[in-house]
Amino acid sequence: MFAVLAGSMAGVLFLLPRLAQAAPFLALPLGIAGLFSATPLLAVRISGRLPHAGVALATALLLISVLESTESAIGFTVLFGLWALLAGEVLSRRRSVIAAAVAGLAILSIEALLAGFVEGAAPIEATLRTPQVQASFDQWAVQAELEPAEAKAAIERVRTGIVALYPALSVISAMTIVAFNAIAIGRLVQRRASASFPKGELLLLRWPLTLVAAFVGSGALLLLPSLQQVAWNGLVVTLFLFLLQGLSVMTFVLTRLFSNELIRAMLVVSSLLGPWAILLSLLGLFDQWFDFRSRFIRAETPAAP
């Protein structure tokens, strides 16, 4: 029964962004809600078995097919279903939200890169040529007080840069989807106070030092003109991963400074706006060496008598 309910909830969450056409002012919250479509499938695996997750996925696919189309059901499978099944299995076996998120990230990133390999840069180029995006570019040019010729050249450089970073942007999109669902599952596990899961696991997220090596290696590739596009994509992906670690560090500190969850949430969201996101990436990078959270843990550990 819970599997059917979870599958129905996953299908509804996936379809929610479609309501933005009728209520454009709700486009942002509906879009964000849609990103959590994998959470009900993952929740089934906290206490359920793989067949239960299969029932939940089948229920979601049936609901989406009936209410919208078979193509949308296939899209749900690619965007949420496949990686949620694998991540759910890891979650059940390892009892680790981070391990499950890494498994899901690997699957969804491979899917994104394969789609980019098959389709090329045509989808992103078509998106950048749409009237809505062009209007945004024109508005930016007006605000920047650029001459028409100068604005056209600048916009074209921005388009070229975005197309060059398309692989990295695809992987970051996959990371964002997985991260949202990992946070939701982490909160659910925390509220259930399950003893089989590590307490506050996401607050202690720390990537292995191999990520630092990947970051340095990507920077070194900038010295080779023929590999600069690869280098920039590598830098963007590694910096985003360090951003996640920086968010973990910041949230860890905020939980010890503020007891109100709303205040903590507002501060976290504010930190992602403007240039603060770059500072969070640097915080995550420097945490590899200084391990800021260990200082708090040592201070909170009572001395032995």
Q: Is residue 181 classed exposed, middle or buried when 0-12, 13-18 and 19+ CB atoms within 10 A define those classes?
A: buried
CA distance 217 to 282: 17
Torsion angle, CA of 202/203/209/215, rounded to 10 degrees? 80
pLDDT (average), residues 18-27? 87
The confidence score (pLDDT) of residue 297 equals: 74
The confidence score (pLDDT) of residue 193 equals: 65
- Give the least confident one: 72-76, 93-97, 190-194: 190-194
Residue 167: Cβ within 10 Å count: 21
pLDDT (average), residues 136-159? 83
The confidence score (pLDDT) of residue 237 equals: 96
Q: Write phi, then psi, for 59 (nearest 5 degrees).
A: -65, -45
The confidence score (pLDDT) of residue 299 equals: 65
pTM: 0.90
